[in-house]
Amino acid sequence: MRGRASASSRPEFAIEWRGITELAPATTTGMTEEEAVRAHRHDRPLLVYIYPDAASEEDEDPRVAVEEDRAFRDESVVVGARLFDCVRISKEDAREDRALKSHAGSAPCLVFVRPDFSPDRCLSGRFHAGRIFSAMHDTVEMDYENCLRQTLKQQGKLAEALVKVLQQGEALAEMDGKIAGQKDGPRRKQLEEKRAALAEEIRAAEETLKAQENALYELKPKQGT
């Protein structure tokens, strides 16, 4: 986890988007059908945002629109995105991509791509969190044993458990204040021992939550896919 204030058991309400070429060579443009089959990654499906060109130099960068849209900051979408490689590609580059070219004309749009690089579906127009999450769920379900709806529920339970750990962290701070006000002696030593025990309890709880979260986002390919 990334510290108690931003522990990863709580969804960070933003998706990390990358350029599609950052995933090269597996997702480079112009792949043939045969190359796509050989490159079958079996690790993550793709969530591809195809963005249109800016109408003029004064217009806002079209790549950031997907970052600011409320739909992509919804908890369900952020959780679902952790099972995808999330990438952005321009409309012009998408036209040259074997898997994406048929959807380039719908930009701005989202394309859900299976691990064999075959597009599953495309969402265009006004983005809605419920539709995005449903498409995520269906795309994952085609190739993996994972159930996104169950993942979302489990993530919520992890977040609740983290709140309790955070509350224990506040108790640590209170103990620090008490220790600071104590002179050296049996009472101070007793408080220090209690603090050390509580700190270890918190550390163990955080490690447990981290392991549970890592397991939650491990994709489990279906047999024969």
Query: Residues 78, 107: one domain?
Result: yes
Could you tell me whether strands 119-124 and 109-113 are parallel, antiparallel, or unpaired per DSSP bridges?
A: antiparallel
| Residue 27: domain span | 4-144
Query: Residues 137, 183: one domain?
Result: no
pLDDT tens sequence across 43-88: 789 999 999 877 656 667 888 888 888 999 999 999 999 999 898 9
- The C-alpha R_g of the chain, in whole angstroms, comes to 23
pLDDT tens sequence across 85-127: 898 988 988 888 878 889 999 999 999 998 877 888 999 989 9
- Inter-residue contact 165 to 208 (CB < 8 Å): no
19 pLDDT higher than 70: yes
Last residue within a domain, chosen from 144, 175, 206: 144
Looking at residue 62, its pLDDT comes to 81
> What is the tally of structural domains in the chain?
2
Looking at residue 5, its pLDDT comes to 36
pLDDT tens sequence across 167-192: 888 888 888 888 888 888 888 889 89
Looking at residue 74, its pLDDT comes to 94
Is 11 domain-assigned? Answer: yes
The answer to whether the bond into 25 is cis (omega within 30° of 0) is yes
Q: What is the CATH number of the domain that holds 32?
A: 3.40.30.10
pTM score, whole prediction: 0.77
Residue type, 92: E
